[in-house]
Homo-oligomer: A and B are copies of this chain.
Amino acid sequence: MTPWTKPEQTEEFFCPFCGGNEDSTPKETFAVRPDKTKPDARGWSLRVVPNKFPALISKGEVIRSENGLFLSVSGVGEHEVLIETACHSESLADLPAERVADLFRAVKLRTLKFKSDKKNLCVQFFKNHGMAAGASLEHSHSQIIAMPVISKQLKEQLDGAKSRFKELGRCVYCEIMEAELKTGARVISENLDFVAIAPFAPRFAYETMILPKNHSARYEETSNDTLASLARIYKDISFRINSLLNNPPYNMTIHTAPLNNNQHDKSFHWHMEIWPVTTRVAGFEWGSGFHINSVSPEKAATAMREVQPL
């Protein structure tokens, strides 16, 4: 199937992300397309557009209010969709590494753009693949949200890393990588720039963490060559997960340092997380914040290592 073939668009089936349907989305903010083509016309291989149903809106001021016990902040920020292919049936893991690199470079460019607006304190890039992983549209895409607050999850990671740094003067993620590479039991694969591990005490079965080998707090400072390397290890991990679990739904996120605040640059280390969705998170997990995971990270790493790579 070439990128320009799309399923017949009928009243029952219409996909706003398919090539040829560019007018069903807001205007593109970035695209990878041949020089001769025009914005919002056919011809692109990657297209970034504002989310039509955004969680945060771009316009307006960030107002922090306190009503007695109840603190709130206005939902002002950015929410964009990265359409990873014009072809309805292609999935990210199947694209050539260079096109996956295009996606990761687009995430960098949009992060830099959002960083130029001081109201955005952090960005969250994420991908939901498959309905069970929360995707509302089947057509391959990911999303990026810029927020006027530091996310709860990022704050926990920043605080943990900062406290370890104060004690030992080292980035804890560098320490973890060193320890993991030494024993190898939880290492899944590596290349020149990245290592993929099954993290100690993972929430989900086959959860994978990809870390840049050289210390770096900021995804947006990663060179385009290094992002090509990230694309290669991402494809490698996806292939292993897909082979083992028969193309499961999955989620992917990137954690990167706050945008306009350098105080975590020595202690924090950006990283990507990928996990297949194999079970339902339920009352125990939401109640306790603990996760019951029946596959140990050592067992998961062994199984993933044993997959014959691409």
* Interface residue ranges, A against B (CB under 8 Å): 55, 68-70, 72, 124-128, 131-135, 143, 145, 147, 151-154, 156, 172, 175-176, 179, 200-201, 203, 251-255, 273, 279-284, 286-290, 292
Decide yes or no: A287 and B255 within 8 Å by CB, A134-B280, A201-B72, A282-B126 being known contacts.
yes
A87 to chain B, nearest CB (A): 22
Residues of B with C-beta under 8 A to A179? 68-70
In the bound complex, CA of A140 to CA of B147 (Å): 41
| Complex A-B, nearest 7 residue pairs according to Cβ-Cβ distance, in ascending order | A134-B282, A126-B283, A152-B289, A253-B287, A153-B289, A151-B288, A251-B283
A70, A135, A143: residue with the most chain B Cβ atoms closer than 10 Å? A70
- Could you give 18 example pairs across A and B, Cβ below 8 Å? A69-B175, A70-B179, A128-B282, A133-B280, A134-B279, A134-B281, A135-B282, A143-B283, A151-B288, A153-B286, A153-B290, A154-B289, A203-B286, A251-B286, A252-B283, A253-B287, A254-B287, A255-B287
Residues of B with C-beta under 8 A to A134? 279-283
Known A-B contacts: A147-B290, A281-B281. Give 4 more (CB < 8 A).
A133-B280, A152-B290, A153-B289, A153-B290
In the bound complex, CA of A159 to CA of B72 (Å): 20
Contact B152 A288 (CB under 8 A): yes
Decide yes or no: A151 and B283 within 8 Å by CB, A68-B179, A176-B69, A179-B68 being known contacts.
no
In the bound complex, CA of A23 to CA of B29 (Å): 64
Out of B124, B135, B252, B281, name the residue touching A288 (CB < 8 Å).
Answer: B124
Kindly report which residue of chain B lies nearest to residue A151, judged by CB atoms.
B288
Interface of A is mostly: mixed
A68, A283, A290: residue with the most chain B Cβ atoms closer than 10 Å? A283
A165 to chain B, nearest CB (A): 13
In the bound complex, CA of A255 to CA of B221 (Å): 43
Decide yes or no: A124 and B253 within 8 Å by CB, A179-B69, A292-B55 being known contacts.
no
Out of B126, B132, B135, B172, name the residue touching A69 (CB < 8 Å).
Answer: B172
Residues of B with C-beta under 8 A to A156? 289
Contact B283 A200 (CB under 8 A): no
